[in-house]
Amino acid sequence: MRPVRRGPADPAPSKWRYRLERLWLTPLFKALIRTGIPSFSFVALFTWYIHDAQRLEAIVDTWEGWVTAVQDRPEFMVGMMRIEGASAQLQSDIEETLPVDLPISQFQLDMGELRHRIEELDPVLSAEVRVIAGGTLLLRVTERAPAVVWQQAGAIEVLDATGHRVATLQSLEAAGALPLIAGEGAAKAVPEALALIQVAQPIADRMIGLTRVGNRRWDVVLSREQRIMLPEAAPAAALDRVLAMHAANDVLARDVAVVDLRIPARPILRLSPMARDALSRKQDAERVAYQERIE
């Protein structure tokens, strides 16, 4: 029996091998084998590992220990606090306000929160908070500039040029040379009040202050119980008009109690009680003399 001759092996792949090769060339399948299955296996293994409370606590403690070891290094510690640009009283208020217990790691300092707390203080316009060389916490403060004193409802408050409260005073004597304003709503019109005070410089030696009337207009209060009643609109122009009248005729040097400019087109001068009595007596004497001449 003669042996059967076999031809050369078929180089074509088998059906299953062909299908596997085609499947491997699919991007989604390749990503699943290379990334998906290893990632899923890692997540499953990690989830099983930390599912134990003791293992999880050990991991957290180890991590916190590493973080604390880095944060508590000497080069990151803050041991001093320096305040610049603040008065002695404001420095004391800042030290009482800030919850900083030195020494402390600068990683435990919330600079934004510290700055916010400082700027919440009434006398503070703005603040800068940062850590400088030498482990020093620098607080650079810009204080509000006092502009006027506001007296209302039994309280005496110092305001800046925007009407923001700066401080509370116990008496007017503590206000010094600051201009005085009064009346409900005066704090909201401080810029207008300052403009009127600037216009009234020629009579500054006689000016006592400004009174807000009806939360809509101003009265200028002068010595000798004189008062200039200004209109709601364009009060500075009206006050300048009164000063021009005074420069020409010494109106404010006379026995005038009120200069009423609430109606700018019709200014009214009201005499003081003594002047009215004197004028009344003069008019009575003139009438008697006139009647005697007629008789």
**pLDDT value for 190:** 95
Of 227, 284, 235, 226, which Cα lies nearest the Cα of 264?
A: 235
pLDDT beyond 90 at 110: no
CATH 3.10.20.310 fits 74-143, yes or no: yes
pLDDT > 90: percent of the chain? 39
Asked if pLDDT for residue 11 goes beyond 70, the answer is no
* SS3 assignment for 104-117: EEHHHCCHHHHHHH
Contact 89, 67 (CB under 8 A): no
Phi and psi dihedrals of 227, rounded to 5? -145, 135
Query: In which region does residue 122 sit, left (phi positive, over 0), alpha (psi from -120 to 50) or beta (all else)?
Result: alpha
Mean pLDDT highest for which of 2-6, 210-214, 279-283?
210-214
What gap in Å lies between CA 250 and CA 258, rounded to an integer?
Answer: 14
Mean pLDDT taken over the chain: 83
Report the pLDDT averaged over residues 84-112: 86
Question: Is the per-residue pLDDT at 178 higher than 60?
Answer: yes
Greater pLDDT, 209 or 171 = 209
**What local confidence, expressed as pLDDT, does residue 279 receive?**
46
Q: What percentage of the chain has pLDDT greater than the value 70?
A: 83
For residue 113, is pLDDT > 70?
Answer: yes
* H/E segment holding residue 46: helix 37-50
Residue type at 233? A
pLDDT at position 280 is: 57
With a cut of 60, say whether residue 80 has pLDDT above it: yes
Q: In which band, very low, low, confident or very high, does the pLDDT at 291 lie, cut at 50, 70 and 90?
A: low
Q: What are the sequence ranges of the domains in the chain?
A: 74-143, 148-276
CATH domain 148-276 topology: Rossmann fold (3.40.50)
Is 187's pLDDT higher than 70?
A: yes
Q: How confident is the model at residue 285 (pLDDT cuts 50, 70, 90)?
A: low
DSSP state of 64: H
Average pLDDT over residues 153-171: 90
Between 6 and 82, where is the model more confident?
A: 82
